[in-house]
Chain A
């Protein structure tokens, strides 16, 4: 009897610790579970594709183009805002890249020009939203059109070959195949994820991001600089958008003026699939990271399993809706 009591104490403590871990990390455990489940389905459905490395190389190649944007966008959404203009900022960044190169013949300066222009355009989003009090959903619909329009006017629909970047340090560092297999851009995406994770969880900026999305009034009463934080987050998405645009353009050797079109829904879906609340205040970087690869894998997975491409959107919709509903349930359970 006494032996059992003595035994059960640490056991109960371990159990309590375990449930608390599950509670605290429920959303992240959930999204990893979803990923493993979908992966398993694809392996069973199309072993000849999903047991070979080609598909993974393809995912690691193309997901980072927009994945690097989804990560800081997660912070914007946690703060209770949204940005729909990043797809146009990708192209703005490449226009700046090209103009910068044209002027200086330096790829380094071209790259810096892209990042700086992304930062400034993102910051301008923030200024319009915060200083003029326009809801970010509306404001960034406007700026999405505006900046795409600027790109079209400047470029007159013309693309630009980027073969000049052949055998340059910049291209090697950003998009070469590391060890002949791993695309460098996925390593960049991991680095971006680590940096954003650190900012969100270990820096004041991240702490304030959560607080603003949770209760802006409380944040203001307690002295959080709400306006500056929100503006800075939009600027970060701007930089990341330009970065993503450079990654893709250098990787495919070409800059199309419609760069970014088609990524809007993917990117947002990845963030929400990852468990970030559209109401703000909660969300994780791990969730978004995994969400990106789930979203990226769905289309090739569906084709590999033998369904026609017609099924893609239906299954996309299903997975996103079910996951988001699941998050809502998990969140209610945790309360």
Chain B
């Protein structure tokens, strides 16, 4: 099987807290992996290692079979990883277009920004993806006054814009309305249709179940188990999640 991402024996501590212990985690080409686990289980830590934000204490990371040393955020983005972080990672006092291209500004090789192009792209995204029609919002709008869901929409649109090979979504439905949530879940299905991969984290088991090919359960920094969604019903999965929370074991 072709793996776009392989993480082997990953360990990560923050001072006293051991957030991840000998974690093995893989994402196949064109696979949607759901990541479930209690608060503090280590889900965000794991995905921040994939995005190059955290350096693991030990273990190795392979992209398409190639071992990557000293992964950084720009390196991960260059390898085709785009992320919706749980904390959104927006800059409130800046304009919409600057947020869309945050850290990946379109520029020539001397670093001179292509402002006009970025604004046009932002406008296109607003109309085609975010569905903004109000004239009060434009690429030059400062996002500070956006609602929580609108901000989440910016973070999601940004992750989808760059046509990533691997899209990571850490609680992307946070703050979204029913309608927007459905739209998001469809985006995730589109990632599958487009032949790309995704890691999807959500506390709503139903959301995860409905889009994921495979579900990985993380418990207190360790992998507790994994299932193919086609082999398990939604109710069984719910049942197992409760059991993990109570006993630390899936069965």
Instruction: Give residues in A with beta carbon < 8 Å to B.
Output: 16, 20, 24, 202-205, 207-208, 210-211, 214-215, 217-225, 281-282, 335
B91: A residues at CB distance < 8 A: 210-211, 214-215, 218-219, 281
Q: Please, how many angstroms separate the alpha-carbon atoms of A208 and B74 in the complex?
A: 14
B51: A residues at CB distance < 8 A: 221
Q: Bin chain B's interface residue count.
A: 20 to 34
The yes or no answer to B243 lying at the interface (CB within 8 A) is: no
Q: Known A-B contacts: A217-B89, A221-B73, A221-B85. Give 17 more (CB < 8 A).
A: A20-B140, A24-B140, A202-B112, A203-B107, A203-B113, A204-B105, A204-B107, A204-B111, A214-B93, A218-B90, A218-B102, A219-B103, A221-B48, A221-B83, A222-B89, A225-B74, A281-B93
The yes or no answer to B77 lying at the interface (CB within 8 A) is: yes
Instruction: Give residues in B with beta carbon < 8 Å to A.
Output: 48, 51-53, 72-74, 76-77, 83, 85, 87-94, 98, 102-105, 107, 111-113, 115, 135, 140, 144-145
Interface centre among B89, B93, B115 (most CB of A within 10 A): B93
A204: B residues at CB distance < 8 A: 105, 107, 111, 113
Assuming A204-B105, A282-B93, is B113 touching A221 (CB within 8 A)? no
A224: B residues at CB distance < 8 A: 102-103
Q: Please, how many angstroms separate the alpha-carbon atoms of A51 and B179 in the complex?
A: 66
A24: B residues at CB distance < 8 A: 140
Contacting residue for A281 out of B77, B94, B135, CB 8 A: B94
What are 14 A-B pairs at a CB distance below 8 A?
A: A203-B111, A204-B111, A204-B113, A205-B111, A207-B98, A207-B113, A210-B98, A214-B92, A214-B94, A218-B89, A219-B102, A222-B102, A223-B103, A281-B94
Which of chain B's residues has its CB closest to A204's CB?
A: B111
Shortest CB-to-CB span from B179 to chain A, Å, is: 27
Q: Please, how many angstroms separate the alpha-carbon atoms of A20 and B137 in the complex?
A: 11
Q: Please, how many angstroms separate the alpha-carbon atoms of A151 and B110 in the complex?
A: 37
Shortest CB-to-CB span from B227 to chain A, Å, is: 30
Q: Please, how many angstroms separate the alpha-carbon atoms of A307 and B76 in the complex?
A: 64
A211: B residues at CB distance < 8 A: 91, 94, 98, 102-103
Which of chain A's residues has its CB closest to B110's CB?
A: A203
Shortest CB-to-CB span from A283 to chain B, Å, is: 10
